[in-house]
Amino acid sequence: MICVLLNDSDFDRTLSPIEFALEKLGVFYRTWRTFREGFPQYASDCDGLIISGGFTMKGYFEEKGDLYGASFLKNFGKPILGICLGMQVLARLAGVSLVVSRELGISRVWLYEGNDLFKGMKSPLEVCQRHNYALPYVPRGYSVIARNDSTFIQAIASKDNLKYGVQFHPEEIDLGSEIESLKIFSNFASIVERHSTENSGGGK
């Protein structure tokens, strides 16, 4: 099961675009609204994680250090996909301080070949952007896997192929992301399924 860590309180009582996307694709998931419900108690409850966008990293970090959300992610040894704020959380965990970089509307993003998150996808891709911060450099242990002309680091992947982040919003089809961008979720689901199989005795 994929666990969605929903950080956007605008969707407290309604389905978020991420949840709509997963349902459209037939992906089995459960959502934790972190601003109200916190985080999963046990990592074993989840085969993979999606960290949504949002307005605050409350629950993950405070000035004096990491909170439970950050510790949960650090100890989660399975696939993770961070979207917008979610990618920024992954970068913070790797020691990166964010910089102001406002980008709103539709932009064209170039996807790099050779990674499973963008498998079978066209490039460039038009996507919805909605962020005020960005990564100033690539976190240690990661590589850039997508770029655009405004915010260069548009997506990252860890060297162990377990952690992925995208700065844009592939779920926001109604706001202008191409329908093609939903393949990111189906590709991530395949990554999760493969990792689960390989680590449950089912793989070779």
126 assigned to active site:
no
pLDDT at 68: 83
131 is catalytic: no
For 193, the enclosing helix (H) or strand (E) is helix 183-198
Catalytic residue among 128, 131, 169, 195: 169
Pairing of the two strands 61-62 and 2-7: unpaired
**What per-residue confidence (pLDDT) applies to 182?**
95
Among the residues of the chain, which ranges form H helices? 17-25, 34-37, 68-74, 85-93, 183-198
Indicate which residue of 3, 19, 131, 171 is catalytic. Answer: 171
Catalytic residue among 84, 128, 172, 195: 84
* Residue 124: cis peptide before it, omega within 30 degrees of 0: yes
pLDDT for 145-194, tens place per residue?
Answer: 999 987 789 999 999 999 999 999 999 998 898 999 999 999 999 999 99
Strand partners, 8: none
- CA atoms of 19 and 122, how far apart (whole Å): 23
Cite the DSSP H helix spans in 3-139: 17-25, 34-37, 68-74, 85-93
* Residue 84 is among the residues annotated as catalytic for this protein: yes
**Do residues 15 and 29 touch, judged by C-beta distance below 8 A?**
no
Question: What digits encode the pLDDT tens for the residues 44-83?
Answer: 889 999 999 988 888 888 766 668 888 889 899 999 999 9
CA-nearest of 65, 58, 79, 45 to 9 is: 58
User: Predicted confidence band at 14 (pLDDT cuts at 50, 70, 90)?
Assistant: very high
Average pLDDT (33-45) is: 88
**Helix H or strand E segment including 164:** strand 163-166
**pTM greater than the 0.85 cutoff:** yes
Distance of alpha carbon 34 from its chain centroid, rounded? 15
